Homo-oligomer: A and B are copies of this chain.
Amino acid sequence: MVKMVKRASRAELSLGRGPAKGRARRAGPPPANNRASKQTIRCENVARILEAAEAVFATKGFSGATTAEIATRAGIPKPNLHYYFRTKQALYRAVLDDILALWLDATASIVAEAEPADALRRYIEAKMAYSRTRPFASKVFANELLHGAPAVKGFLGGAMKRLVDDKAKVIEGWITAGRIAPIDPYHLFFVLWAATQTYADFDCQIAAVLGKKKLGPTDFDRAGETVATLILRGLRLKV
A residues in contact (CB < 8 Å) with B: 58-64, 139, 142-143, 145-149, 153, 156-157, 160-161, 164, 181, 183-184, 186-191, 193-195, 197-199, 201-202, 204-206, 208-211, 222-223, 225-227, 229-231, 233-236
Contact = CB atoms under 8 A, between A and B. Distances in A.
Nearest to A184: B226
Contact of A226 (B153, B191, B195, B227): B191
Q: How many monomers of this protein are in the complex?
A: 2
A190 B198 contact: yes
A143 to B, nearest CB: 6
A60 B211 CA distance: 31
B191 A156 contact: no
A187 B222 CA distance: 8
Contact of A142 (B202, B229, B236): B202
B208 A199 contact: no
A202 B63 contact: no
Contacts of A204: 145, 148-149, 153, 156
A34 to B, nearest CB: 43
Contacts of A198: 190-191, 193-194
A230 B227 CA distance: 11
Nearest to A182: B229
Contact of A183 (B201, B210, B226): B226
Contacts of A148: 59, 204
A163 B222 CA distance: 21
A149 B204 CA distance: 7
A149 to B, nearest CB: 5
Nearest to A185: B226
B227 A187 contact: yes
A208 B155 CA distance: 9
A175 to B, nearest CB: 13
Contacts of A149: 204-205, 208
